Amino acid sequence: MPNLIGNTVVLHPKTGEPVLLAGGGPLPDWATDLVGAHLLDGPKGSSPSASPTPAPGESREQKRARLLAQLAELGDDDGSDESAQAPTGSPEGGPEGGQDGPPPKGGAGSGAPAWREYAASNEVEVPADASREDVIAALDAAGVRTE
């Protein structure tokens, strides 16, 4: 019987009640199909080839290539015909990083620089010193999504 390597909560199949399964303890038989292999150290756990630990001397690029290959294998395992694609652009998730939508209007990442980058990625010209509100107004006027 595999042991849990982390805490998790599952719904008991008979009662529907949430049950805390504590890391370090055995996995009850009724929960074997409810817990992912990433939480197990036993036979159902992940294989050594899927280890996220880099090989000694492995560069960042090599690690990235190895992880992308593993993602591609996972896509093959589930019958999906989608191939894993490497993310492009800046690691910060800027406009070249495949930003899905506009920056937040409040909190982290909501400043004028983020909004100016978003405007530039949508080919809306704004002054380099434009305020967040001015950029949002320009985007609205250009019909670019701001929400």
> Is the pLDDT higher at 127 or at 100?
127
pLDDT at 147: 86
Domain range list for the chain: 1-46, 48-77, 95-141
pLDDT single digits (tens) 7-53: 888 888 888 888 888 888 888 888 888 888 888 886 544 444 444 55
> Is the pLDDT higher at 118 or at 77?
118
pLDDT at 43: 55
| Residues 35, 44: Cα–Cα separation, whole Å | 10
pTM over 0.75: no
